[in-house]
Amino acid sequence: MRYLQLVNHDDAKMYRHVAFATAFTSYRKNEAAVIARFAEFQARIGMLHSLAKAGPPLNKVQDKLRNLYDCSIREVLEFKNAIRHQFGPGCPYCGENCTTPDIDHYLPRISYAEYSLYSWNLVPSCTQCNRIFSSSVAKGADFLYPFGDKFLKQRVLAVQFQWIGQAEFTINLKGRSNLGPAERTRIDHHISMLRLSERFANYAISEILSFRRLALKSGDLVNYLGLEAARHISVRGPNSWPSLLCDALASNQAMIAWLTRQAEASENP
Ligand SMILES: [Zn+2]
């Protein structure tokens, strides 16, 4: 096993390892073909699912490449560890806080054996995203690609509060309205595939209850939420759940008024 290169991916300020084995003869015979596939992968970021599965023939090396990921040799484990920690805290698919990520094959290794241990195809992800990916027959569907799409770099998610009468509201996640139509469709599809709206709403409901107390304690709840949002963006990125929630609450007068009423009611029952 050896590491071929360390790539500086300037745009996202990430160093990407490229690993694969030279340990067995059949692989070495196919090295040029695999390297050509890597180049094709990088050239087609943004349209990864249109990568032709019929590249130059890999001469029956697929099974070995596929099994490389399951090797327990030290280099492979170190490699996977480097992949696991390159994004910092937070799952790059959903924005949920996640300290011990799994590793997802963006293009499934069953169909794309040559990318089984290729870093650009390995994405750290929270257990829930990984489970949805693995169990989904639509694995080949076009999810956002964390190394190439905007998810890591700019806010693409928006929170919607919708009031049902005086005391009840629903919470939904959507693609931001200032995105282009094609991009928004893609993001909405990503949200629906990962059941992100429902997952975020569960998180938000439990957090909002703790904001009730802050509403009274803090002289200026809007300012407090704004500062918290900025702090979470700097630590966990622009689509992290706490940052989305704090920003959405701060900019929604009805929610601020509701929080304040709730807090007052709990102080003076
Ligand atoms: Zn996730």
DSSP 46-102: T-GGG--S-SS--TT-HHHHHHHTT--SHHHHHHHHHHHTTT-SS-TTT----SS-E
Average pLDDT over residues 200-225: 85
Percent of the chain with pLDDT over 70: 86
The gap from C-alpha 86 to its chain's centroid, in whole angstroms, comes to 12
Q: What is the mean pLDDT of the chain?
A: 83
Rounded to whole angstroms, how far apart are CA atoms 97 and 95? 6
Rounded to whole angstroms, how far apart are CA atoms 109 and 147? 18
Q: Is 208 helix (H, G, I), strand (E, B) or coil?
A: helix
Q: How far is the CA of 14 from the centre of ligand 1 (A)?
A: 20
Q: How far is the CA of 39 from the centre of ligand 1 (A)?
A: 28
The structural domains of the chain, with segments of one domain joined by +, span 2-149, 154-267
Q: How far is the CA of 62 from the centre of ligand 1 (A)?
A: 29
Q: How far is the CA of 27 from the centre of ligand 1 (A)?
A: 33
Kindly tell me if the per-residue pLDDT of 69 is higher than 50: yes
Q: Backbone phi, then psi, for 219, in 5-degree steps? A: -65, -30
Whole-number pLDDT of residue 62 = 83
Q: How far is the CA of 92 from the centre of ligand 1 (A)?
A: 7
Q: How far is the CA of 127 from the centre of ligand 1 (A)?
A: 7
**Closest Cα to residue 70, out of 46, 33, 103?**
103
Residue 6 identity (one-letter amino acid): L
Rounded to whole angstroms, how far apart are CA atoms 123 and 137? 19
Q: How far is the CA of 98 from the centre of ligand 1 (A)?
A: 8
Kindly tell me if the per-residue pLDDT of 170 is higher than 90: yes
| Residues 228-239: tens digit of each pLDDT | 999 999 988 899
Q: How far is the CA of 95 from the centre of ligand 1 (A)?
A: 6
The residue ranking higher by pLDDT, 1 or 23, is 23
Provide the whole-model pTM.
0.83
Exposed/middle/buried for residue 245 (C-beta within 10 Å: 0-12, 13-18, 19+) = buried
- 59: β partners: none
Residue 16 identity (one-letter amino acid): R
Rounded to whole angstroms, how far apart are CA atoms 155 and 174? 11
Q: How far is the CA of 109 from the centre of ligand 1 (A)?
A: 20
Kindly tell me if the per-residue pLDDT of 13 is higher than 50: no
Place of tokens 């090396």: 61
Of the candidate ranges 90-94, 142-146, 252-256, the one whose mean pLDDT is the lowest: 142-146
Q: How far is the CA of 80 from the centre of ligand 1 (A)?
A: 18
